[in-house]
């Protein structure tokens, strides 16, 4: 047995893989890939993950790095194509590392949104709050298909994207609660969060689409092979300015990936009641399109890679429709059950939940264990809890800063308040 392991590790010692869980003492073992169940290898039972918890914890180092497959291949749903000869691949390889990362990210978004729900009901968050639980595979999958140097803009259901584009849960929740530790110092709120190469967070339905085309124009202008992901929903898809943006993007071959996040309802109006054609991936007409299973993160990732490669090659814009679903209503003031049935929501939850789908795949292909994923759940819960504590305890921005940041790069000036005697200072 030892001879076999040694042989395998010698063969694969060239592989450049990082140790898992910081197990620096076992680099050679970590580089073994495609390990089967311990029983299949004829290894002692202690190496099998079904062993007792205590022993498991003690020998977690050995077990974790020895018992899991390093990657697995999965079949994914074929995308419907519009004006494309071929589409993204129908199989993909998921590495353990990526799987754990995606799982953690999706779970973080899920729990963050649920925490926001809770805080809203406690009236610690006010105003507009549009949650994206159910749509985690979209934000995490899109991010997995692009580079941090690419650009992304979306509408108001933006918390998930704010996270995947690099801001912390702390900054996001503190912004929702309107505190100075928020990413916009408490002055933006739910719909106005920004990060590097993430342009929000936009309240006017559809207006972000020409903005995204403009960012794509800048990408082309600067010549750095960057693309811009420009998202909108099934409701916004009927806005005229989107068609204006399609036209100019195609005319000037802008590297713009138009993405319709179709969650079947534009506020309380189902797609059938709003659109003469619900084939959103075809509505770009002369722009090629893909219809993607938006509940499957691997499908989203592959489609995004495909679309990004298409744009980077200079062929112009492309359109992706992500078929997804939101569990919450349109916003926190919408219970979400007057225009759809609870049964429908329940069915999606039980059959198509994106986190559940990833989990099942990983566990069934031995990329991770149920317990390991549960541990991630616990860690995520703690992170969210800490962030919520911060978001609740952090003070509001000071009143003196009411007039700040009206202009950029300008010398300070005075701003009138509610009457001519109340003045605020404005600093850039």
Partner 1 sequence: MAAVSGLVRRPLREVSGLLKRRFHWTAPAALQVTVRDAINQGMDEELERDEKVFLLGEEVAQYDGAYKVSRGLWKKYGDKRIIDTPISEMGFAGIAVGAAMAGLRPICEFMTFNFSMQAIDQVINSAAKTYYMSGVAAQHSQCFAAWYGHCPGLKVVSPWNSEDAKGLIKSAIRDNNPVVVLENELMYGVPFEFPPEAQSKDFLIPIGKAKIERQGTHITVVSHSRPVGHCLEAAAVLSKEGVECEVINMRTIRPMDMETIEASVMKTNHLVTVEGGWPQFGVGAEICARIMEGPAFNFLDAPAVRVTGADVPMPYAKILEDNSIPQVKDIIFAVKKTLNI
Kindly state whether residue 424 participates in binding partner 1, applying the rule CB under 8 A. no
Site residues for partner 1, window 236-295 (CB under 8 A)? 240-241, 244-245, 247-248, 251-252
Question: Half-sphere exposure of residue 290, counting CA atoms within 13 Å on the CB side?
Answer: 30
For residue 89, give both structure tokens: 């691949």
First to last CA, the chain: 68
Q: Does 407 bind partner 1 (CB under 8 A)?
A: yes
How far apart are CB 179 and partner 1 at their closest, in Å?
Answer: 21
Kindly indicate which of the ranges 24-32, 195-203, 292-300, 346-354 contains the residues binding partner 1, using the contact rule CB under 8 A: 195-203
d(CA 330, CA 333): 8
- DSSP character at residue 198: B
The DSSP secondary-structure symbol of 280 reads G
Q: Are strands 91-95 and 71-75 parallel, antiparallel or unpaired?
A: antiparallel
Q: 58 Cβ partners below 8 Å, 6+ apart?
A: none
Q: Which is nearer to partner 1, 128 or 413 (CB)?
A: 413
CB of 77 to partner 1, least distance (A): 32
Q: Is 229 in the site for partner 1 (CB under 8 A)?
A: no
- Min dist. Cβ of residue 212 to partner 1 (A): 6
Residues 11 and 14: their CA atoms lie apart, in Å, by: 7
CA angle 216, 219, 220 (to 5 degrees): 95
How many residues belong to the site for partner 1 (CB under 8 A)? Answer: 39
Residue 211 sits in the site that holds partner 1 (CB under 8 A): yes
Using the minimum distance from each CB to partner 1, give the nearer residue, 202 or 304. 202
Distance CA 127, CA 244 (A): 31
Q: Which stretch binds partner 1 (CB under 8 A): 3-11, 117-125, 211-219, 378-386?
A: 211-219
Q: In a 3-state reduction of DSSP, which class is residue 416?
A: strand
Query: Of 93, 370, 393, 415, which lies in the binding site for partner 1, with binding defined by CB under 8 A?
Result: 415
Residue 418 in contact with partner 1, rule: CB under 8 A: no
Four-residue CA torsion sign, 398, 403, 408, 414:
negative
Q: Of how many residues is the chain composed? A: 428
Structure-block tokens of residue 16: 């450049």
CB of 232 to partner 1, least distance (A): 12
Binding partner 1 (rule: CB under 8 A), the pick from 6, 15, 218, 393 is: 218
Tokens encoding 72: 């697995």
CB of 239 to partner 1, least distance (A): 9
Where along the sequence are the contacts to partner 1 (CB under 8 A)? 151, 153, 199-200, 202-204, 207, 209-219, 221-222, 228, 240-241, 244-245, 247-248, 251-252, 405-410, 413, 415, 420
């Amino acid at each position: 047995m030892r001879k076999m392991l040694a042989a395998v590790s010698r063969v694969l010692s060239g592989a450049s893989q990082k140790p898992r869980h910081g197990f620096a003492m076992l680099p050679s073992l970590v580089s073994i890939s495609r390990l089967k169940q311990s029983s299949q290898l004829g290894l002692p039972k202690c190496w099998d993950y079904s062993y007792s918890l205590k022993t498991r914890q003690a020998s977690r180092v050995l077990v974790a790095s020895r018992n899991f497959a390093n990657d697995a291949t999965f079949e994914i749903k074929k995308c419907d194509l519009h004006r494309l000869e071929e589409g993204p691949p129908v199989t993909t390889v998921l590495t353990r590392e990526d799987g754990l990362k995606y799982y953690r990210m999706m779970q973080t978004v899920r729990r963050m949104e649920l925490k926001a729900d809770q805080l809203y009901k406690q009236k610690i968050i006010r105003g507009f709050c549009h949650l994206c639980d159910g749509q985690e595979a979209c934000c995490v999958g899109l991010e997995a298909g692009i580079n941090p140097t690419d650009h992304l803009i979306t509408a108001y259901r933006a918390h998930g994207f704010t996270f995947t584009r690099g801001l912390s849960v702390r900054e996001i929740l503190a912004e929702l609660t309107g505190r100075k530790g928020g990413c916009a110092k408490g002055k933006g709120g739910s719909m106005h969060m920004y990060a590097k190469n993430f342009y929000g967070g936009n309240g006017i339905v559809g207006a972000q689409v020409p903005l995204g085309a403009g960012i794509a124009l800048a990408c082309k202008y600067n010549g750095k092979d960057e693309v811009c992901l420009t998202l909108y929903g099934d409701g916004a898809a009927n806005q005229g300015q989107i068609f204006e943006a399609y036209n100019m993007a195609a005319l000037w071959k802008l590297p713009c990936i138009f993405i319709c996040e179709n969650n079947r309802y534009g506020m309380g109006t189902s797609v059938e009641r709003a659109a003469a054609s619900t084939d959103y991936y075809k509505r770009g007409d002369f722009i090629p399109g893909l219809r993607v299973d938006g509940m499957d993160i691997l499908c989203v990732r592959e489609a995004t890679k495909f679309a990004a490669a298409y744009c980077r090659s200079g062929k112009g814009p492309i359109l992706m429709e992500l078929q997804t679903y939101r569990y919450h209503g349109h916003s926190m003031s919408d219970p979400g059950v007057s225009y759809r049935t609870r049964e429908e929501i329940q069915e999606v939850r039980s059959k198509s939940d994106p986190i559940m789908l990833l989990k099942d795949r990983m566990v069934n292909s031995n990329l991770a264990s149920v317990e390991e994923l549960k541990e991630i759940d616990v860690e995520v819960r703690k992170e969210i809890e800490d962030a919520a504590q911060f978001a609740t305890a952090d003070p509001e921005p000071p009143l003196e800063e009411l007039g700040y940041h009206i202009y950029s790069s300008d010398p300070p000036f005075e701003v009138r308040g509610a009457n001519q005697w109340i003045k605020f200072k404005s600093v850039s």
